[in-house]
Amino acid sequence: MSDNKTVSPESSLAIDGGQPVRTAPLPLEFPGVHHMDEEEVEAVVQVLRSRSLFRYYGIEPQKQVEQFEADFAKFIGVRHALAVSSGTGALHVALGALGVGPGKEVIIPAYLWVAVASAVVNNGGIPVLADIDSSFCLDPSKLGQYITDKTAGVVLIHMSGAPGNASAVRDITRDKGVFLLEDCAQCAGGRINGQSVGTFGNMAIFSFQMNKNMTAGEGGCVVTNDVRLYRRAFACHDLGYARDENGRLQFEDPELCLWGRGYRLDELRAAVLRVQLRKLPAIIGRMRASKYRIRAALAEFPQVQLRTIVDPAGDTGCFLITTYRDQATAARVNAALRAEGLVTWPQGISNVLMTQWGLHLYYNIPSLVGRTSVDGRGFPWSLPANTGLGGQYAKGSCPVADDLFSRSVLLAIPSCLTEKDEDDIIAGFRKVLREPRTNTD
Ligand SMILES: Cc1ncc(COP(=O)(O)O)c(C=O)c1O
């Protein structure tokens, strides 16, 4: 409770015993599901009625996966799209297609999702951490220093809904002759100066897991303009071989006698994704409008540093990141905002300190920091081909990221915020940021 008796409960902070801005929880994140309705239901029912849940055969095949791939390739603006069972699966398949294995390093950003590191390691390669900048994505000005003759390529992750500096990263990877794989799992529908994320590199991946801009609960996609990479990815995601247009396996091409992973997408989820893709512009339009209304309101507080956005018009809007002068201020703002009712519960992660953002921060990934292996014999770290590869993974390895993580707060922007919800978020920030503790520079 506040010991300041001169401040009325209405105007004093809820964290100090005042009235909260709101008592109802904010809507849960999960962008795609807020826009789900009878259309998705009917699409699924149609597949069930056809009793044809597998992409290659059934009683009355519906070709939903094939059509989703065509729709998605058109939407992104690429020649080839390969639907797979998850974003993690898409990473495994793409890195396999790009030839990642023992003896190869892959550069990954300090702000990431664990699946990116695990896909490199599971393919037998070694991840190398690269620092980020105020865009919270790879810092192109530092990227060159990580690239050596052991580098196979770079994964640029468009984190927390906003694109990274893809053109600058692409120029460097082209110049150095290494691949660029874009991870667009958190940024489906994002653009940079009108160009879709996923079209800057040699390949790109998407995720359609529950908390993504469009979703079928689980699902993913690999896209590329390179037919050779597409064919390799296809073989890797399936049984290790090509198929003809009727889905029959082909064994003639010796370059496509690979090893498959069984990551095919099923017809039910493809049917949902076809509907969700049509809704994607509206979903991200809602989140972007909410986010930029809140960002505009925060402009009156110079003590708040807003994330650098490469192209605001192409931001998908699903997260707002704010950064404060030090760790204590960020912690106070976060706790005070939560007390004002800017939270979701019992599930949801609407408003967190970035240091609590789990496996998104490299130093929170125990398997990476501890270089663990599944086989108990050190794979892939101890393979002779990997001798001398890799770098440091413990906290301190990426100082800019460490500093930004320690001072930042992440707020999810649901795709269904009402004007009143936005008003409350703005009111909460105003209330909290006007307190002297958080606004002295
Ligand atoms: C950046 C990033 N890459 C990859 C993935 C993996 O996607 P999935 O959960 O579909 O396996 C995620 C999922 O959260 C992600 O955020």
Task: Tell me the pLDDT tens digit for each residue of 313-335.
Answer: 999 999 999 999 999 999 999 99
pLDDT the model gives residue 349: 77
Residue 295's pLDDT band (boundaries 50, 70, 90)? very high
pLDDT at 5: 42
Atom of ligand 1 nearest to the CA of 91: 4
Does ligand 1 lie within 6 Å of residue 220's CB atom?
Answer: yes
pLDDT at 415 over 70: yes
Contacts of 362 (CB under 8 A, 6+ apart): 110, 111, 112, 117, 129, 368, 369, 393, 397, 398, 401
Mean pLDDT, the chain, as a whole number? 95
- What's the pLDDT at 383? 97
Rounded Cα distance between 191 and 163, Å, is 7
Residue 66 confidence class, pLDDT cut points 50, 70, 90: very high
pLDDT tens, residue by residue, 105-115 = 999 999 999 99
Find the 54 Cα to ligand 1 centroid distance in Å. Answer: 24
Q: pLDDT per residue over 427-438, tens digit each?
A: 999 999 998 777
Which residue's alpha carbon is nearest to atom 12 within ligand 1? 185
237-253 tens-digit pLDDT: 999 999 998 999 999 99
pLDDT in tens, 208-239: 999 999 999 999 999 999 999 999 999 999 99
Instruction: Decide: 87 in ligand 1 pocket, CB within 6 A.
Output: yes
**pTM > 0.85:** yes
Q: What is the per-residue pLDDT across 138-161, written as a single tens digit (0 to 9) for each?
A: 999 999 999 999 999 999 999 999
In a mutational test of the pocket of ligand 1, which residue from 29, 30, 86, 88 has the highest number of ligand atoms less than 8 Å from its CB? 88
140 cis-preceded (ω within 30 degrees of 0): no
* Alpha helix ranges (H) inside 177-265: 227-237
Q: From the alpha carbon of 207, which atom of ligand 1 is closest?
A: 10
The tens digit of pLDDT for each residue in 15-58 reads 999 999 999 999 999 999 999 999 999 999 999 999 999 999 99
CA of 432 to the centre of ligand 1 (A): 33
Instruction: Give 403's Cβ-side CA count (13 Å radius).
Output: 8
Does position 370 have pLDDT exceeding 50, yes or no? yes
Q: What per-residue confidence (pLDDT) applies to 9?
A: 57
Asked whether residue 3 carries a pLDDT value surpassing 60, the answer given is no
- CA of 330 from ligand 1 middle (Å) equals 27
* Predicted pLDDT at 441: 52
Ligand 1 centre distance from Cα of residue 135 (Å): 19
Q: Is the CB of 86 under 6 A from ligand 1?
A: yes
Give the pLDDT mean for 247-270: 96
pLDDT at 440 over 80: no
